[in-house]
Structure 1
Amino acid sequence: MSNAALNTGQSLQQLQKEFKDIRNNFPSRYVRLYGACDRKGFYDDIVEAAWDNTLGVHALVWFGFDGSGIWKQRRDTLFASLHNNPKAKFVTRGVQFGSEPLFDSVLSPKNLTTQVKAAKANLSSLNIPVTVSEMAYGYQKNGGAQDVLDAQDFINIHMLPFFAQDASTANKAWPIVERDLNWFVTHGKGKKLFFDENGWPSVTYPGVQPNSAAAVADVKNEQAYYTLLDNHCSDLKKVAGGGVGWFAHIYSDDQEPGYGIHDDSGSLKFSFKPKTSC
């Protein structure tokens, strides 16, 4: 599975190209959206590209980082597209509230729970489930926010072990991954789990800085992290709820530096064909 960052506001032609690559060459089955493009009709283009390339989509209500209320407009625009586009309900495999609304204190757990429940009611006739895109600490800093977890249909987990205080190299990151995963297993009550914002950066820059002096960011470690997940395929598969699915955080470095499977010029940074079964 792959994330598609939307800050570039791709044209339908570009979406078709990227989704075709994601489906055929990785090969992914789902795309998780990250960021926002407020161009009119943009989600309809997402639906068209996903439909044509047999991909499911984790859609997104993007809060952003400016503290504004534009997320409400984005929510309403997305819901209108889901109800009015006849293809949308077939490719949209979930709607996320994100990114990290609890960690960023965008909404209180009570208000976020209200939003999740309202979205579920709005989308019930379409059978589109609803989730929140958040890391373990976002819940933990809010006393566990069990009401938010309970309201979700499935759970999207941010898994970014590079930022852990005990991080070093990606090939040693499984105990960090397992630590957060076990927290969600304990509190998720058997719901399906996904690692959605998931990866290891190949570079550092302001905003992407480690909390451990031993943490290494380079292409070798970015690749090693996904190899680590493949090596623990059987561990992920046996988790309650049907196993843990995972996404690569970003499609290309021109969308968010360091996390892309492709570099700025569109070339693959490393071979990327994750296991789809084990």
Structure 2
Amino acid sequence: MKMATLPYLLGITAAALISVCVWKLLGAPVNIVDAPAGKVHCISYTPYRGGESPFDHSFRAEPANIDADLAQLSKVSDCVRLYSVDLGLDAAVPLAAKHHMQVLLGIWIGYNEAYNQRQLAKAIEVAKANPQTVRAIIVGNEVLLRGEQTPEDLLRYIDEVKKATGLPVTYADVTHFWLNAPPALANAVDFITIHILPYWEDKPTSAKRGVAYLDQVRAEVAEHFPGKRIFIGETGFPSAGRDREAAVPSIISQARYLREFAAYADTHDLDYNLIEAYDQPWKRAQEGTVGGAWGIFTADRQPKFPWTGPVSAHPHWHMETGIAFAFSITILTIMAFRGGKPEPLGGIGAGVGAGFVGSALLLQIEHSMIAWRTPLEGAVEILLLMQSLAVIFFVLPEITRKKAGIAPLSIADTLNWLRRPTSQGRGMALYLGLTQLAATFGSLVVSLGFCFDGRYRDFPLAAFALPALSFALLSFNRGDQKRAYPDRREEVMFSMLFIVSTAIIAYNEGPLNKEALMWCVINLIFVLPWTGQIKAAIRGLITKSEAVAST
């Protein structure tokens, strides 16, 4: 098809404006309270890079890597907190001394007594060899929370370490377990170490309210343990991942919380440790994307935000604008050659749509780069990208046609083709049907996951908003939502699953989770093309009910 020059040029102009507006808005700098001058008190450190993990018992941290990390961290803090002394981490203590840093030496306590004894022996050995470097020893991290030991067992371990080293000793856990611990545990430690993570609290708290929440919790603990020094052993905020009610992970949220907390701690003379130094991708296996996004440095050792001045979630938004615009031109070209010949006004509309789709595609790719950790995750992200490309190549051009575009095959016909692929039924209707089935089925799988086990799952908004909106627009272009096609029970079943899962997600996540609400809207948009079938099914049920009642 010959491309109309004027509508195409108008479309390019519209796409350029949309791309600039979207990314300038996303990259707009936000003014945040500056952190006080100087270094943060202490920061959690684990040496794992790339695919390295503490679950790999053959792993040994390279001293050269630890040395390079501590050289970088010494510029932002004079202290690091370690969580164990195995897998080569014991080398971090003398290396910390080299960089004039102190260490909160952690002893990892689990359910295995033999492993615990090895940890205790090694930690005592390291502490005795470096008494000027080891600031205190943390015997166990959230052991009571995990239910792997009893308070009585912890008391035994704490007493052994105190007698062997003579150094200050503590135990670290969330506030709930400290408030319910026996008094003997509080008496045994030199100071109380509590973890306060507004994002992970039972009632998630936003970054804006995070410091106020921490102040409230700290006051409660101080009242419960009068005269006992309170140390904040972990606090921080993630830079990426799924929302939890009003707690929204982002670079802005992380910078806001950490900078405001540093200012608060400075004015209240509060001692603390931040979690954590570097993003740890291995944590995503247990906690999803958010688990690997707590570092103030990325996994490749780049700072995420400045500690003074404005902060941008997309500091390179000019470059991202260019990439999104390039995507938009490609999309617009596909629409121009494969779709209908538009009038000038239609060209502007197509350009606006291409601008938004190009930006959504870039956001999807950026999320994939964060979420891609294992080969399975990589395969899923590639399939989602292929799904978006299929929508761009097959669905968007059909929307631009003046006359009603081709309708997707029904779910039943598409499934029949998948069972017995033949040349019969090939063509645009089949491609549209396959794309629609993949998108709706994928969205349903994700939604059902949220219903039954949603704590660590991301909301893939960019990946599914495009097919949902595109098929809805194609349906409205054809008027399908007003037609009751016969034998479309599968569409009705899919619609009911969408509606039920949407209700469950909205209930589970609550009205404060904007990300969850947006996902619910996407689910309902998927249903729009099938409203005619839903109405027909409801009318059929009413008719049958009346027939039964009349008999």
Class of the TM-score when normalised by the shorter of the 2 chains: 0.7 to 0.9
Aligned residue number for residue 32 of structure 1: 81
SS at match of 2:240: coil
Question: Which has the higher Rg, Structure 1 or Structure 2?
Answer: 2
Aligned residue number for residue 240 of structure 1: none
Alpha-carbon displacement from aligned partner over 1:163-208 (angstroms, at most 9, x marks no partner): 224334212112321222112212333333322222111223xxxx
Change (3 A) 1:217 1:21: same
Aligned residue number for residue 264 of structure 2: 232
Most deviating of 4-13 and 168-177? 4-13
Aligned residue number for residue 101 of structure 2: 55
Aligned residue number for residue 156 of structure 2: 114
Separation (CA, whole Å) in 1 of partners of 2:250 and 2:84: 24
SS at match of 2:96: helix
Q: Which amino acid aligns with 1:183?
A: E
Separation (CA, whole Å) in 2 of partners of 1:3 and 1:73: 22
Separation (CA, whole Å) in 2 of partners of 1:150 and 1:236: 25
Aligned residue number for residue 127 of structure 2: 82
Q: Which residue, 95, 99, 103 being the options, matches 2:145?
A: 103
Query: Do 1:58 and 1:95's aligned partners in 2 also have CA atoms closer than 8 Å?
Result: yes
Q: Which residue, 254, 275, 289 being the options, matches 1:249?
A: 275
SS at match of 2:131: helix
SS at match of 2:232: strand
Change (3 A) 1:30 1:188: farther
Query: Do 1:6 and 1:37's aligned partners in 2 also have CA atoms closer than 8 Å?
Result: no
Query: Do 2:93 and 2:126's aligned partners in 1 also have CA atoms closer than 8 Å?
Result: no
Aligned residue number for residue 299 of structure 2: 264
SS at match of 2:125: helix
Change (3 A) 1:136 1:20: same
Cα displacement (A) at 1:230:
2.5
Cα displacement (A) at 1:2:
1.3
Q: Which residue, 209, 227, 235 being the options, matches 1:190?
A: 227
Cα displacement (A) at 1:153:
0.9
Identity among equivalent pairs (%): 19
Separation (CA, whole Å) in 1 of partners of 2:148 and 2:209: 33
SS at match of 1:163: coil
Query: Do 1:167 and 1:173's aligned partners in 2 also have CA atoms closer than 8 Å?
Result: no
SS at match of 1:232: helix
Separation (CA, whole Å) in 2 of partners of 1:13 and 1:81: 19
Separation (CA, whole Å) in 2 of partners of 1:254 and 1:109: 30
More helix by share: 2
TM normalised by structure 2 equals: 0.42
Q: Which amino acid aligns with 1:269?
A: K
Change (3 A) 1:47 1:16: same
Change (3 A) 1:91 1:103: same
SS at match of 1:106: coil
Gapped regions of structure 2 (runs ≥ 5): 1-41, 53-59, 284-291, 309-551
Aligned residue number for residue 91 of structure 1: 133
Most deviating of 90-99 and 74-83? 74-83
Cα displacement (A) at 1:272:
4.0
SS at match of 2:299: coil
Change (3 A) 1:188 1:20: farther
Most deviating of 47-56 and 192-201? 192-201
Separation (CA, whole Å) in 2 of partners of 1:16 and 1:174: 33
Aligned Cα root-mean-square deviation (Å)? 2.2
Separation (CA, whole Å) in 2 of partners of 1:218 and 1:188: 35
SS at match of 1:59: strand
Separation (CA, whole Å) in 2 of partners of 1:48 and 1:165: 39
More strand by share: 1
TM normalised by structure 1 equals: 0.81
SS at match of 1:247: strand
Aligned residue number for residue 217 of structure 1: 249
